[in-house]
Every structure is written in structure tokens, then in C-alpha cells.
Amino acid sequence: MQGFETITEMGHEQVVFCHDKSTGLKAIIAIHDTTLGPALGGTRMWDYANTDAALFDVLRLSRGMTYKAACAGLNLGGGKAVIVGDAKKIKSEALFRAFGRFVNSLGGRYITAEDVNINVNDIEQVAAETNYCTGVVSRPGGSGDPSPVTAWGVFHGIKASVKQRLGKDSLKGLKVAVQGCGAVGRYLCGYLHEEGAQLIVSDIDPEKVKQIVDKYGAKAVEGHSIYGVEADVFAPCALGAIVNDETIPMFKFPIIAGGANNQLLDEHKHGKTLKDKNILYAPDYVINAGGLINVYNELRGYNAEVARKQAAGIYNTLLTVYSEAEKQGISTHAASNAVAERRINGVKAVTGFKHTYDNQAWIRR
Ligand code: NAD
């Protein structure tokens, strides 16, 4: 069992084990760092092999949220929750309401949202017990599907990467290989097409590929061959861990910039290998922050235009990260971590800085 040693090493402020006897709820809420604001992050439901596995996941994911929010310039900290159990078996209104009461008991230090195996209906039930909840469709000001805003941020991240690596301001005529034509990939293809990029796409679902081919004249490739295509940009928008020892030798593109989470199988090793191969990598949590930016705007009174404008700011954030990487001679992934840590440590150093979590006070600011 991981304990104080682990949370000290990983920097967590608070880890809450939640148990409700009547519903059988077993959940862990991890608040990593609230220096910049309340800890926001989704709730995941997963049938973990044991408590250690659940704890490891929530600690890792919540820390990731701190870095994501910090780099994106949001006044949010990092948090995450996991509910332990099989999503096909344990879901009930009572269980989600019990969970909502635990979230509420933290007084706004943690704000929840959807994640793997948690849908809009589940969040509605959590929201019956707490206001510290985003993605609630039934409340006025809900932000809805984050995918278009995520894709808009990725699009601007691709433009920044092209500027940095190829010195070009436009994507016109450039080849972009998009892996995954799902919610993010499909919107991204639309934005890229509009700018005049040539698309190469892959998806395990042939129907999704067909739609992009028909609509935007994209070239379709199958399976692993996307890793070896001749392209200017590779935009992973499907799976994690696709940058690894097997795929890297196939890469012929000078830029990797896409929306998928956890693209590097090993952040340190593969981040450095990409640097050594002179492949510019847009750190995943920086380029895909549009979804988080979207829910952040929900907390402040949602306005789609403001959210899109803020997501477009990923362009400048990435240029800052790239400049940091050059200055320090480190991988872009290490550079984004450094940018996030500098912001957090800077704010920590402000004497007398205090957050008020009191009953939506933060949300109104
Ligand atoms: P999605 O499920 O809508 O789309 C993923 C697509 O990838 C699907 O069409 C699926 O068929 C395809 N796919 C799965 N395995 C594949 C493979 N081996 N090769 C090619 N295609 C494959 O998911 P999404 O919401 O578009 O998210 C895509 C990625 O972006 C995920 O990693 C997600 O965590 C990340 N992300 C999404 C958002 C968002 O706003 N939706 C925000 C941040 C990060």
C-alpha cells in the first residue's frame, strides 16, 4: 500500500477514501495541488485489480491535471477521482448521489467532471448532491461536448509546431496524418481541410474513415501503416502509448502534434529519443488542453467564443514550451513540465495568497 511516502514524493495535498455502506460505493478522490485554484478533474469508473492499482491511477492522473491546468494558464489545480467497480454492474442513482455527497464535503477544493465510463447521466446524479461538478447538461451554462474546442486547440497547436519546425505560417499544401477519426479527429480534419492541408487518415472503424475521405478528400491508410507515411505532421487522436520503441523507427515526419492522451509510452525515454531524432513533439497535455479550457469556462459562465479563443492560445503556450526546450537543451515534454512548475512555484511564493472555496465564491470570480 502506498502511503505518506508516495504522496510526499508525488506532491499530493489530500487523498480521500470514500465508502458508503448502503450503496457499496468505494471511491478515492485525489487532490494534487491547489496552488492555482480548486482541483478539477474527471471521475473515472474502473474495475481495478486491487486498491493499490486504483490509488496509483488516481495519484498519477490527478498530478497530470495539475500540470495541464498550470501550462494552459488556468486558475485551476489538479485533481481526479476513481470509483472502483465494474461500470456494467455497479452504477445506480444512489451510488452517484453518495459520491456527490463526498465531493460536496470537500467544499469546492475538488470539482468533478466526466471521465472513462462516466457519462452525462451519471454526472447529473452526482450534481443532485453538489454544485462542484461540471458537464451538467440540465443546468444553465453547461458547456456540452468538449471535442470541437479540444480539436480547435490541437489545430492551433499544429500551426505553432509547423511555425517552429518548418518556419511556415500556413498549413496550405502540408500533409497531416491523423490517427483516429473520432470526436476530436473528425473536427480536427475539418479545420485542417479548411486551411488547405492534405489529409491522410486511419481508424479501426471503416465507416468513420469513409466519412472523412468523402467529405475532405482524405487518403485512407490501414492500421500500423500510419506510422510510416510521408507527412509533415503526425496527429495522434486515438490511443495512448503510440510513441514507443517499435513505432519511432518508422517515423518519417518532423512533427508529432495531436490530441490523444499519454502519447509517449515512456515520457522520459521516448521524449528524449524524439528530441535526438529532431522530431518536434507537442506535449500531449499542452496541445489537448482545449477540453479542460472548455469546462473551466463553464465555471466562469460559459461562452463558446471565449472558450475557443482561449483554446487558440495553445499556439503561444507551445511556442513558450519549444523555446524553453531549446534554451535548456531538454525534451519538449520536460520543458512543458518546467513551464508548469515555474508557474506554480511562482504563485506559491506570493505571500498571503489564499483561496476561498466558500460556496461557489471562486466560481463567481
Ligand atoms: P473517440 O473515442 O471519439 O475517438 C477515438 C477514435 O480512435 C475512434 O474513432 C476509434 O475508432 C479510433 N481508434 C481506436 N483505436 C484505433 C487504432 N488502433 N487506430 C486508429 N484509430 C483507432 O475519442 P475522442 O474523444 O476523439 O478522443 C481521442 C483522444 O483524445 C483520446 O486519447 C482522448 O483521451 C483524447 N482527448 C480527448 C478530448 C476530448 O475533448 N474529447 C480532450 C482531451 C484529450
pLDDT of 142 reads: 78
Pairing assessment for the beta strands 77-84 and 25-33 based on DSSP bridges:
antiparallel
pLDDT of 300 reads: 83
- Rounded to whole angstroms, the Cα distance separating 86 from 84 reads 7
Quote the ligand 1 centre to 8 CA distance (angstroms): 33
Ligand 1 near 150 CB (within 6 A): yes
Q: Which atom of ligand 1 lies at the shortest distance from residue 205's CA?
A: 11
The catalytic position among 21, 26, 68, 80 is 80
> What percent of the chain has a predicted confidence (pLDDT) above 90?
87
* 96-113: pLDDT as tens digits: 999 999 999 999 999 999
Q: What is the mean pLDDT of residues 223-247?
A: 96
Ligand 1 near 200 CB (within 6 A): no
3-state secondary structure the chain: CCCHHHHHHHCCCEEEEEEECCCCEEEEEEEEECCCCCEECCEEEECCCCHHHHHHHHHHHHHHHHHHHHHCCCCCEEEEEEEECCHHHHCCHHHHHHHHHHHHHCCCCEEECECCCCCHHHHHHHHCCCCCECCCCCCCCCCCCCHHHHHHHHHHHHHHHHHHHHCCCCCCCCEEEEECCCHHHHHHHHHHHHCCCEEEEECCCHHHHHHHHHHHCCEECCHHHHHHCCCCEEEECCCCCCECCCCHHHCCCCEECCCCCCCECCHHHHHHHHHHCCCEECCHHHHCCHHHHHHHHHHCCCCHHHHHHHHHCHHHHHHHHHHHHHHHCCCHHHHHHHHHHHHHHHHHCCCCCCCCCHHHHHHHC
**Whether residue 80 lies in the annotated active site:** yes
* 127-181: pLDDT as tens digits: 999 999 998 877 777 777 889 999 999 999 999 999 999 999 999 999 999 999 9
247 has a pLDDT exceeding 70:
yes
pLDDT of 140 reads: 77
Ligand 1 near 221 CB (within 6 A): no
If pLDDT is split at 50, 70 and 90, which confidence band does 364 have? very low
Q: What is the mean pLDDT of residues 279-291?
A: 97
283 has a pLDDT exceeding 90:
yes
Pairing assessment for the beta strands 255-256 and 280-281 based on DSSP bridges:
parallel
* 76-87: pLDDT as tens digits: 999 999 999 999
Q: Which atom of ligand 1 lies at the shortest distance from residue 238's CA?
A: 7
Q: What is the mean pLDDT of residues 311-315?
A: 98
Ligand 1 near 241 CB (within 6 A): no
Ligand 1 near 72 CB (within 6 A): no
pLDDT of 351 reads: 60
Q: Which domains does the chain have, with CATH numbers?
A: 4-65+77-127 (3.40.50.10860), 147-290+301-306+315-339 (3.40.50.720)
pLDDT of 357 reads: 52
Q: Give the chain's mean pLDDT.
A: 94
Rounded to two decimals, what is the model's pTM?
A: 0.92
* 322-358: pLDDT as tens digits: 999 999 999 999 999 999 999 999 998 886 555 555 4
If pLDDT is split at 50, 70 and 90, which confidence band does 365 have? very low
What is the grid cell recorded at 247? 513505432
> What percent of the chain has a predicted confidence (pLDDT) above 70?
95
The number of residues in the chain equals 365
Closest-CA residue, ligand 1 atom 25, reads 183
Contacts of residue 364, Cβ cutoff 8 Å, sequence gap at least 6? none
Quote the ligand 1 centre to 69 CA distance (angstroms): 21
Ligand 1 near 237 CB (within 6 A): yes
